[in-house]
Structure 1
Amino acid sequence: MLKTKYVISYFTFLFLTFYSHGQEELFHQKINQDMYGNFSEAFKHLDYPLFASIHSKEMIRISGNGGEIKKGQDYLNGYQKRWSNPKTTISLISFKLLERITSDTLVSDRGIYRGSYTNDKNETKFFYGKFHVLLRLENNTWKILVDYDSDEKGTINKQSYDAAFSLSDYQKYWKIKD
């Protein structure tokens, strides 16, 4: 009888552990798709409506390189104008994370992005930056509330990007509140 209790306790522990891990993974996958998946898709297809949809109506944009703070709509208007130009070159963008701090309705992500485009000579060119976004859960979708980025005076590069963590590696960048 005592052995049966241990076996039941052991399997209950395993079930709860795997269930909890599965819930964590789904939580991070949702954030990553709502934010980074949609952001990358918007850039790839010059899809302004998709790009606009991932930003909160109250969004604030901070450009470390440009030294300016913009209201979200002013920032979005720039992309709408740029992407509606038929001569606009498509840029691809990908993200890696350094840190994620979460609550039920807010996420703070810091990371490195890599953008690429093909120039007139058919050469692929890369650009890098460090970002910090604050996301807010709005109608069950994670949206950008604050967006800051900078190339830190040209010091963010391929090595910075390679040293950051893949979006799927949330156990390495997620700061769990003890």
Structure 2
Amino acid sequence: MLKYLLFFSLATISVVAQSTPQQEINEQIWKRFVEAYGNQDTEAFMKIHSEKLVRNPIGYEVVRFEKYKEQNEQNFQRQKKAGVKIKIDFTFAFRTVTGSVAYEIGYYKVTSLKDGKTDYYYGMFNVILQKESGTWKILSDADTGENINEAKFNSGKNWEYVFN
């Protein structure tokens, strides 16, 4: 009887310990994104992106990994020098995973704080994620701020709770 109880306990722990692809994406992409962006840490931020990245802020030029890294270094340095603190939050309208590729559409809210003044900027994004050497990376990222507001941001589902 003890042998069966031990087997059942180990099997249960094994199932519980396994994570879904969506949970992996939350951990490997979105939690790290929020942390690196909020810390204005270019190196940590770029680690969640594939070196094959195609970035398209809609209405602007398409850039690849190195150019995007350079842009983020400049933006983060400028913000730090100006004393601007930033935070980013995400909600999702659509998420799907097929094997080692995922596609997600969502909204973001950037909060910036300087000299006691708070500003908000909203946008919509869509990303293609790909698993590279066992880790999820952002392969393609497009976004726009056109026609996005607090209500649209709030219409999405919170990533921390949707798939946990």
TM-score interval w.r.t. the shorter chain? 0.7 to 0.9
Larger Rg: 1
Task: Say whether the 8 Å CA contact 1:40–1:92 is kept in structure 2.
Answer: yes
Question: Are 1:156 and 2:148 counterparts?
Answer: yes
Task: Say whether the 8 Å CA contact 1:43–1:90 is kept in structure 2.
Answer: no
User: Where does structure 2 lack aligned partners over 5 or more consecutive residues?
Assistant: 1-10
Give the superposition deviation at 1:101: 1.7
Task: Say whether the 8 Å CA contact 1:134–1:146 is kept in structure 2.
Answer: yes
TM-score under structure 1 normalisation?
0.76
Query: Which one-letter code corresponds to 2:88 in the other structure?
Result: I
Matched-pair identity in % = 27
Counterpart for residue 166 of structure 1: 158
SS in 2 for 1:68: coil
How large is the Cα RMSD of the aligned pairs? 2.1
Out of 74, 81, 86, which is 1:91 matched to?
86
Distance in 1 separating the partners of 2:137 and 2:143: 16
Task: Say whether the 8 Å CA contact 2:101–2:130 is kept in structure 1.
Answer: yes
Question: Are 1:29 and 2:57 counterparts?
Answer: no
Q: Deviations over 1:75-101 (max 9, x none)?
A: 111111222344152210011111012
Give the superposition deviation at 1:35: 1.1
Distance in 1 separating the partners of 2:37 and 2:130: 21
SS in 2 for 1:75: helix
TM-score under structure 2 normalisation?
0.82
Counterpart for residue 9 of structure 1: none
Query: Which one-letter code corresponds to 1:124 in the other structure?
Result: T
Distance in 1 separating the partners of 2:150 and 2:36: 23
Query: Which one-letter code corresponds to 1:156 in the other structure?
Result: I
SS in 2 for 1:91: strand
Q: Deviations over 1:138-170 (max 9, x none)?
A: 121110100000012xx1010011110011213
Distance in 2 separating the partners of 1:113 and 1:156: 9
User: Where does structure 1 lack aligned partners over 5 or more consecutive residues?
Assistant: 1-14, 172-178
Out of 53, 72, 85, which is 1:79 matched to?
72
Q: How does 1:85-164 map to 2 (within 5 A)?
A: 85=78, 86-88=80-82, 89-120=84-115, 122-152=116-146, 155-164=147-156
Q: Deviations over 1:90-126 (max 9, x none)?
A: 2100111110121111000000011101133x12111
Distance in 2 separating the partners of 1:111 and 1:164: 7
Give the superposition deviation at 1:22: 7.7
- Runs of 4+ in structure 1 off by over 6 angstroms are none
Distance in 1 separating the partners of 2:113 and 2:77: 19
Distance in 2 separating the partners of 1:93 and 1:118: 12
